[in-house]
Amino acid sequence: MRVLLVEDDNELAGRISRGLTQAGFVVDRAVDGDDGFELGLQTQIDMIVLDLGLPGRSGLEILEDWRRRNVATPVLVLTARGTWVEKVEGLNKGADDYLTKPFHLPELIARLHALRRRGWGHASNLLRYQDLTVDLASGEVLRGAEVLELTSLELRMLKYFMNRTRHIISQSELIDHLYNTEEMRESNTIEVYVGRLRRKIGSDKIKTLRGMGYRFG
C-alpha cells in the first residue's frame, strides 16, 4: 500500500516513515500544504496521513479541496489539536479517521490497515485465496500450514494482487503502488519479482496476459 505522509516536522515524519516502511507500506512525503495537495491528486496513492498544522495551505483547507475535486483517497488526520470541535470539523470536511499527537506507531499502523480493509470491503486482518493466507497485522504469509519467507517488496506485491483478485493489473500500475517516488522504477524488476513470487506461492496463481499485465486468481 502506498501512503502519502503530509507532515512538516522532520523528526516525527522520519519516525513515521520508518515505522510504516517496516510494516510494509510504501511512503511518499510532502513537507507543506502546497506540495501535499498536489501529491494527493495522484491516483496511485492508496491513503493519506495528513497533519493539520502545515506551512502554506492548512491541512483542513487541502482536505476540503481534495473532496471538492472528488479525490476519494482515505485520509487519516494527524494533529496535535485534540479538542472535539476540531475533530468534528476534520471529519465533516472529509477525513476518514483521526489520531491525536502524541500517539503510538502501532495504533497508526492499525488504523491504516482498518482504512484499507474498509476500502477493499474486507472485515478482518486476513486475506485468503485458495491455500494462501496473509495476516495484514503481522505480515505472516501461509501456504497451507507452511510459513513463507517473503521479501518486503514480494509481500507488498502479494497483498496488492490479493486485494485485486481477477483484475487485470498492468506493470505500470504495480510500479506506481510498490515504489515511492525516489526509488528506481523499472518494468524488468517487476518481472523478476513476479517470477520469484510465483515460485513461492504457486505458479498457477499469477497469470501473465501478453501486452496487458498480470491477473491474480
pLDDT at 122 over 60: no
**Cβ of 21: how many Cβ atoms within 10 Å?**
14
pLDDT value at residue 22: 87
Cβ-proximal residues to 85 (8 Å cutoff; 6+ apart), any chain: none
Upper half-sphere CA count for residue 93 (Cβ side, 13 Å): 21
Q: In what order do the strands lie in the sheet with 2-6?
A: 26-30, 2-6, 47-51, 75-79, 97-100
The domains of the chain, with CATH numbers, are 2-120 (3.40.50.2300), 126-216 (1.10.10.10)
Q: Is the pLDDT of residue 118 over 80?
A: no
Pick from 12-16, 86-90, 120-124: least confident: 120-124
C-alpha 184/C-alpha 186 separation (Å) is 6
The residue that leads in pLDDT, 217 or 62, is 62
- Specify whether the backbone of 139 is left (phi greater than 0), alpha (psi in -120 to 50) or beta: left
What is the rounded end-to-end Cα distance, in angstroms, of the chain? 20
Beta bridge partners of 28: 4
pTM comes to 0.68
* The pLDDT value given to residue 17: 94
pLDDT tens digit string along 61-77? Answer: 999 999 999 888 899 99
Q: Are strands 206-209 and 213-216 parallel, antiparallel or unpaired?
A: antiparallel
